[in-house]
Amino acid sequence: MVHDVFTFLVGGKAGEGVKKAGSVAAHIFSSMGRYIFQMDDYMSLIRGGHNFSVVSTSPRWITSQYMKADLVVNFDKRSCDTHINDIANGGIIIFNSDEQESVDGIGVPLSSEAEKYPMKKLMYGVGAVAILSSTIGLSKDQMNQNIKNQYPRGIEDNIKFADTIYDMVKFSCQNKYPLERGEKERPIITGNDAISLGAIAGGLDAYYGYPMTPASSILHFLAKQAKNFGLAVVHAESELAVINMAIGSAFTGARSMVGTSGGGFALMTEGISLAGITETPILCVLSMRPGPATGVPTYTEQADLNFALSAGHGDFLRIVASPGTVEEAYYLTAELLDLVWKFQTPGILLTEKHLSESSMTINLNINDTKWAEPKMHNGGSYKRYKDTEDGISPMLFPPSKEIIKWNSYEHDEIGITTENADMIVKMHNKRDKKLRKLIEHLKTQDTVNIIRGGHPTNIFTYGSTYMSVLEALKHGDSNPTIVQPIYLSPLPIWELKEFKNQDNVVIEQSITGQFASLLSEKAGLNIRSVIKRYDGRPFDPIELSIKIKEELE
């Protein structure tokens, strides 16, 4: 075990309940009052291939999976071959002895045992839970209770099967890693769950999406919760329809959000630009996966930062922010929904597969969220694009006796098309004023997370890589200051000034170092070096801690 962390890794083919076994493990740990971090690594296919789920747990807050596991359970030979070197010192590897020659580990005849039941391969996950239960010292009763709660289908068979497997590994595994209990049970949610719940808390009324990993689970979550929260949730024919429908909904006053990944976002950019000139409050979740083009659909990267910062043709205000943790995703989504309504402009919540689809135990202050409220027109004749001191025109929604015209052409204050030179300048200036007001507003709130350390070098990171960095710094004693800008546009340079003439190292998941370039161009920071990873996988905390140590020595 690495210090206070226990890691369970389960691998097999898609369709064998790998991810479910990971989730059940996570629930077992959290029911013991412990914190968890679960990462699912899966291929872009429905059946077969190789998937694995890795769950790390600790009595303290934990922000990353560990790739060296204390208990590895493999359902097939491919998994075993893949993970044979992913065992921590003193760890246990279990292989399916029906599927392969013996290796240096513990063979369990998973296939032949599962064959005895009608659900066959679907039971492998239950077997993995049985092995885990034995290893961490749960009694059969405790195990059976968990299985009953988590696998509602075929309870009797599942318990019988689990008992058999539990007994089979008793000799080699029983109570090998007894886990300390934590203080209380906490809910487990994914980043996409947090984004969805944050949006609801902030006032979401309508969500539009088109299936695209890793954003799809927002669409699924909200579709499932639509009735409960009174939302309109629509799977439209394309991302073009998605963004334009959402803009239509915003016209009525409905707080609207869309979600996608890079390729879908490319289609949405015309709508982002439309939102710019029509001054439509719209929030877009952009969850990054490795690109370009189709790239690697089910893996992670941070290479769409530049694209998000300049999305949509023309000059207009774009708000871009990226949450560092699952909890921050909850608050930030509500906050961005509020900001886009306050400033009537598009906002982008930039995240990655690693945050979207990983699960964490959370400590949330549910009430502590912003509520999206626009500046409203109060009586008198109405002009949609009234020029005001801060550039923000009061809003009004149909039905109204007043005429409300939103226009994609350059327009006058009423919203009628114009080609008049003075009016073009006036409207550009009006929209431009909103940036100053926004910066003034952002100066009153948290826009950067800074954890002060004692080392002369600072580490800059953003998005889910922040979680990897936090966990890496649990190892070693270099103790640098960590700086994580939440807002990327406008970049809070007022908070970053103090780091200007200091020694800075950036950690990000992009081959060209887009975040490092942003920091040096916009904030004038000297970046000595960039620790990059761009193989689609998130950093492993131990590997990253070694790299950080090398940079800081």
Task: Tell me if 270 contacts another protein by CB under 8 A.
Answer: yes
The DSSP call for residue 291 is: -
What DSSP designation does 381 have?
S
Taking CB under 8 A as the criterion, the residue among 72, 274, 303, 442 binding another protein is: 274
Contact flag: residue 240 with another protein (CB under 8 A): yes
For another protein, the closer CB: 272 or 491: 272
Amino acid at 450: I
In 3D space, the residue among 336, 324, 303, 296 whose CA is nearest the CA of residue 515 turns out to be 303
Among 2, 84, 232, 527, binds another protein (CB under 8 A): 232
Q: Are strands 457-460 and 346-352 parallel, antiparallel or unpaired?
A: unpaired
Pick the piece of the chain touching another protein (CB under 8 A) from 56-64, 94-102, 353-361, 398-406.
Answer: 398-406
Stretch that binds another protein, among 58-66, 224-232, 288-296, 528-536 (CB under 8 A): 224-232
Binding another protein (rule: CB under 8 A), the pick from 241, 267, 309, 423 is 241
- Taking the C-alpha atoms of residue 368 and residue 281, their distance in angstroms, rounded to an integer, is 22
371/526 with CB nearer another protein: 371
Residue 531 CA to residue 545 CA, distance in Å, equals: 11
In order, the DSSP letters of 483-499 are EEESEEES--HHHHGGG
Out of 7, 53, 217, 278, the residue judged to bind another protein by CB under 8 A: 278
Cα 140-119-155 angle, rounded to 5 deg: 40
Structure tokens at 521: 């161009």
Q: Which stretch binds another protein (CB under 8 A): 71-79, 120-128, 404-412, 529-537?
A: 404-412
**Which member of 134, 249, 358, 509 binds another protein (CB under 8 A)?**
249
- The DSSP bridge partners found for residue 53 are 10, 40
What is the Cα–Cα distance from 348 to 486, expressed in whole angstroms?
Answer: 12
Q: Is 233 left (phi over 0), alpha (psi -120 to 50) or beta?
A: beta
Which residue(s) pair with 489 in the sheet? 320
| Shortest Cβ 280–another protein spacing (Å) | 9
- Contact 86/68 with Cβ under 8 angstroms? yes
Binding of residue 244 to another protein (CB under 8 A): yes
> At closest approach, how far in Å is the CB of 225 from another protein?
8
Q: What track of x and - describes contact with another protein for positions 174 through 213 (by CB under 8 A)?
A: -------------x-x-------x--xx-x-xx-x-----
Give the tokens for residue 48: 């077969």
Which position among 28, 131, 364, 507 is part of the footprint of another protein (CB under 8 A)? 364
The phi, psi pair for 72, rounded to 5°, reads -115, 125
Q: Extract the tokens encoding 259.
A: 């979600």
Judged by CB under 8 A, which of 112, 149, 238, 445 binds another protein? 238
For another protein, the binding residues (CB under 8 A) are 187, 189, 197, 200-201, 203, 205-206, 208, 225-232, 234, 236-238, 240-241, 244-254, 256, 270-271, 274, 278, 364, 366-367, 369, 371, 398-409, 414-417
